[in-house]
Amino acid sequence: MTDKPNDILLLAGKVLTILMQGLMACAALTLIIVGPLAAVMSDTINAEMVADYGSKVAPMPISAILALFACALVAVVLVFFFFGKLRAIISSVAEGEPFLPENANRINAMAWLLAALQVAKFVLGAAAVPVATWASTIESEDLHISTDFSSGFDLTSILMVVVLFILARVFRHGAAMRADLEGTV
């Protein structure tokens, strides 16, 4: 049985995970629509760019943009599944059954998803360089693009991956202890 403050916390967690999954679904849908649309309309977009900024503007690097969108889509999908696993854990906690083997598996999967997201971050940064380099050639007071994607390791995220792997073991051990306890009663 959960007490009242935990009910509010669990409800907030569930709402936030649903909201994050909804946002990730919208982001994925946007990337899926805009990528091919940019490819199909690249000639029109290039003509508009020449009209707005002059003939010195290089053609839009559509293959680099599509690669960037594909990398972003992978990252969005990873985040979507991460929050799905978290929502399932929150639901089991709300039901009073946190130490389940499934939750250990979910936490382990969350660790792998977060690790994959860290790899995707570096690939995304590398894919962004040609697009940012192209965009930086456009002289506009309204457009400020940085081509510095050398943010290095995100130590907090790496630590989170390790913590999640450890928590998965804790939950696996807790589930085994619970099964042993139920067997003795």
In this predicted structure, the answer to whether residue 105 has a pLDDT above a threshold of 50 is yes
**Considering Cα of 37, then 42, then 46, then 48, what sign does the dihedral take?**
negative
- Could you say which DSSP state residue 89 is in? H
Q: Would you kindly state where each structural domain of the chain is located, as residue ranges?
A: 4-184
147 backbone dihedrals φ, ψ, rounded to 5°: -105, 15
CB distance 66 to 39 below 8 Å: yes
In this predicted structure, the answer to whether residue 143 has a pLDDT above a threshold of 70 is no
In this predicted structure, the answer to whether residue 148 has a pLDDT above a threshold of 60 is no
State the pLDDT at residue 1.
Answer: 46
**Helices and strands (DSSP H and E) totals, the chain:** 5, 0
Q: How far apart are CA 143 and CA 174, in angstroms?
A: 54
State the pLDDT at residue 108.
Answer: 97
In this predicted structure, the answer to whether residue 151 has a pLDDT above a threshold of 70 is no
Average pLDDT of the chain? 87
State the pLDDT at residue 175.
Answer: 87
State the pLDDT at residue 59.
Answer: 87
State the pLDDT at residue 19.
Answer: 98
Angle between helices 4-40 and 62-94 (to 10 degrees): 160
* Tens-place pLDDT, residues 1-46: 445 556 899 999 999 999 999 999 999 999 999 999 999 999 998 8
Structure tokens at 94: 């709300």
pLDDT bin (cut points 50, 70, 90) of residue 96 is: confident
Residues of the chain above pLDDT 70, percent:
88
State the pLDDT at residue 170.
Answer: 94
